[in-house]
Amino acid sequence: MLLPTDTALITGAGRGIGKAIALHLASRGITTLLVSRSKDELHQVRDEIIAGNGKAFAYTCDLTDRDSIQLVTERLLDEHRTISILVNNAGMAKSFKIEETSTEFWDQMLATNVTAPFLFARALVPGMKEAKRGFIVNIASTAALYGFSYGSAYCASKHALLGLSLALEHELKRFGIRVAAIMPGFVKTDVLMHSIENIVKRTGRSLAEAEAELASLNRSGRIIEPQDIAALVLDIITEKIPAERSEIEIQ
């Protein structure tokens, strides 16, 4: 059940899945706190929400920088007090051979995909406990369940995010806080389009052929739309999806 006071913090809200989630939640009257590195993109999303009579606030933050996260969470809690919904959506999704995976890249991948969600959750949980109500939704990936070549850093980070989600679900459910992980297959985002372009360059296939190849790897046979993920987030928050389903795979 949504409350008039519900406020959602969404990371990676400037584009793709994060933008879709922000627009979807705002359309249901939820105040949205948009967090991302790109100021221009965030402001565009904020302005779009406000133009539709929604409430939105934009905050720039480097999710690989712990000090940046601490500063923005302190500001968010000071300005909005209790934040009832946390959607950890921001993530990196690049791949390299293991021998070409630098320590710096590994650190950035885990900082963005695991440490940032942990830090945001740690900062917001006390307020959720006090309110005896809250939702934490982590956008993971089917890479949290499987492994694939050249994805050592990415798969490790998404496995870790799923582990974090399951641990928090067990720890926090007695306080009225629901934690869930959504694990999508291939989603139509800028990252996916970059992958399709790489396939075209390597193989000489057309864009349509490359996209069809990736779509075939999803069980549905199609590329998932960001709006599909946004609808799942809302279903979790409105409890249309039973609380027992803490791991939600979508392909």
Distance between first and last Cα of the chain: 27
Beta strands 7-11; 247-250: pairing state = unpaired
Spatial contact of 3 and 84, defined as CB atoms under 8 Å apart: yes
CA distance linking residue 172 with residue 182, whole number of Å: 18
CA distance linking residue 232 with residue 249, whole number of Å: 10
Tokens coding 129: 């406990």
CA distance linking residue 71 with residue 128, whole number of Å: 19
The DSSP secondary structure of 128-176, one letter per residue, reads HHHHT-EEEEEE--GGGT---TT-HHHHHHHHHHHHHHHHHHHHHGGGT
CA distance linking residue 219 with residue 142, whole number of Å: 11
In the beta sheet, which residues pair with residue 180? 137
The DSSP secondary structure of 68-110, one letter per residue, reads HHHHHHHHHHHHHS---EEEE---------GGG--HHHHHHHH
Residue 150 is a catalytic residue = no
Residue of 59, 146, 150, 154 marked active site: 154
122, HSE (Cβ side, Cα atoms, 13 Å): 10
Give the active site residues: 154
